[in-house]
Amino acid sequence: MVIAANREANTQGIQNGMPLADARAIVHEIEVFNDKPQRKEKLLEGLARWAIRYTPFSSVDTDGILLDISGCCHLWGGEESYMGHITARLAASGYVVKAAISDTIGTAWAMSRYGKGNEIVPPYQQHAALLNLPPAALRIPDETTEKLHKLGLNRIERFIQMPRSTLRRRFGEGLLIKIAQATGDEPEAFTPIDVIQEFEERLACLEPIRTAKAIEIGIERLLEKLCLRLKAEGLGLRKAELKGYRIDGKTIATTIGTNRPSDDPKHLMKLFALNISGIAPGMGIELFTLTAEKTEKMERQQEKIWAGQAGLDSQPLAELLDRVAGKVGKNAISRYLPRADYWPERSVKQATDLGEHSETSFHNPLNRPIQLLERPERIQVTAPIPDYPPMLFIYRGVRHSIKKADGPERLERAWWLEEGEHRDYYTVEDEKGNRYWLFRSGHYAAENSAWFIHGFFA
């Protein structure tokens, strides 16, 4: 039996690879634990998944983990703080950690194992950082390392400047590739771990699928499995993504969304059916995945013996809106809720779903117009003196003579939210009986004074 010793055992003279009998001769009370198969690999994979909280790209290395931290360090106050936070968290969990940050995988690997530990290599300084390290820091085979040491080349600086032809002839092409990857002269592939979604189903096809009917059958099977899992958890689907992996290496995807949580595979299939015509199978699809990207708690509705008055809690209404949104687009359907604010643009808000409610109810005590423009539009107005309603206005080239008017009603801005002029609103009626909501921004005859139309009455 061969020993893999920890740091405390090393301090007592026990080294890695030492036979157990020799280790017991040095320390009689040594504790020995049998290693479990694949234990190291499982541990590293678990650490790589844990590190996804720091970067979306994490990978498993031979005896460590690799992180692509591009664009992430500023969230922790810089590279030094970022690395210190990660190593401190791992050390608090009982791990002995050495880390390094560099522009290349090779240099980061070398500095973390053969450097001083927790080092940050400045940009474009990989070559200088590698000079004092041993040849093994280049991740080369042991045979190549032994050859270099026999020739006295026990530091990278002693052979990195040699002609490439000489190095290739004596040590092979592999050494040159590792040097180029470490210094950044050649790219190196980085394959992050695939994070499995919490609710995801996969369907592998015995033969590549190319027909719409086959795609439909595949989606039905995936939905049945996914909805069973959601029901067991008391959840409903709000957003799902279907991916098809084609034999030519390309991936196609389509998504659906619902207004209310749903675990009904028949209803969800109707939504996917609207998108099947847009799925291009090409030479064939060999794998489908269905992922529940957003789920919510499913509240079961009590079925009524009598059919009462339909409301927003009606499941058939939600399913109807889902199908309409699948045909005309989700942005074509909107629902608005009242907001407690006297400023007209902030008096309503768009609801995120049918289940959202507002503490304020719709009311119109001040006789506001039913239809408001998205933004007030500038108009030309003839008004006699301050505080008098306008006599006529021109809107989009049409002249309107005012026969009746009411106002002004002054609305002040919320000074703690924004700056700007107040508004004096007038309700006016033209010669055709049409009624409009106009306002003057700022004081009468001021330099920044202007007239606008903001709404229309029924």
Quote the pLDDT of residue 261: 87
Please state, in angstroms and rounded to a whole number, the distance separating the CA atoms of residues 305 and 297. Answer: 25
Whether 327 and 269 have beta carbons less than 8 Å apart is answered as no
Please state, in angstroms and rounded to a whole number, the distance separating the CA atoms of residues 348 and 341. Answer: 8
Whether 424 and 439 have beta carbons less than 8 Å apart is answered as yes
Residue 292: partners with Cβ closer than 8 Å, 6 or more residues away: 197, 198, 199, 200, 226, 230, 237, 239, 240
- For residue 154, CA distances in Å to 49, 105, 133, 151, 157 come to 37, 22, 8, 8, 9
Whether 200 and 167 have beta carbons less than 8 Å apart is answered as no
Quote the pLDDT of residue 364: 63
- For residue 97, CA distances in Å to 35, 83, 87, 392 come to 21, 11, 6, 79
The tokens of 137 are what? 């820091």
Residue with tokens 């506001």: 368
Whether 177 and 152 have beta carbons less than 8 Å apart is answered as no
Q: What are phi and psi of 413, to 5 degrees?
A: -75, 155
Please state, in angstroms and rounded to a whole number, the distance separating the CA atoms of residues 63 and 176. Answer: 23
Query: Which amino acid makes up residue 192?
Result: P
**Beta strand 398-411 pairing with 423-430:** antiparallel
Whether 256 and 239 have beta carbons less than 8 Å apart is answered as yes
Give CA torsion, residues 207, 210, 211, 217, to 10 deg. Answer: 50
Domain boundaries along the sequence of the chain:
1-35, 42-183, 200-297, 371-456
Whether pTM exceeds 0.75: no
- Of residues 329, 349, 350, the one with CA closest to residue 341: 349
Quote the pLDDT of residue 305: 46
Quote the pLDDT of residue 24: 81
- Residue ranges, the chain, pLDDT below 70: 1-6, 196-197, 300-315, 354-355, 359, 361-366, 445
Quote the pLDDT of residue 112: 92
The tokens of 380 are what? 């030309």
Query: Which amino acid makes up residue 418?
Result: E
Q: Furthest-apart CA pair in the chain: how many Å? A: 111
Q: Is the dihedral angle over the CA atoms 55, 81, 71, 97 positive or is it negative? A: negative
Work out the percent of the chain whose per-residue pLDDT is above 70: 91
Architecture of domain 200-297: 2-Layer Sandwich (3.30)
The burial of 230, by beta-carbon neighbours within 10 Å (0-12 exposed, 13-18 middle, 19 or more buried), is given as buried
Q: What are phi and psi of 11, to 5 degrees?
A: -65, -20
Please state, in angstroms and rounded to a whole number, the distance separating the CA atoms of residues 58 and 374. Answer: 45
Query: Which amino acid makes up residue 362?
Result: F
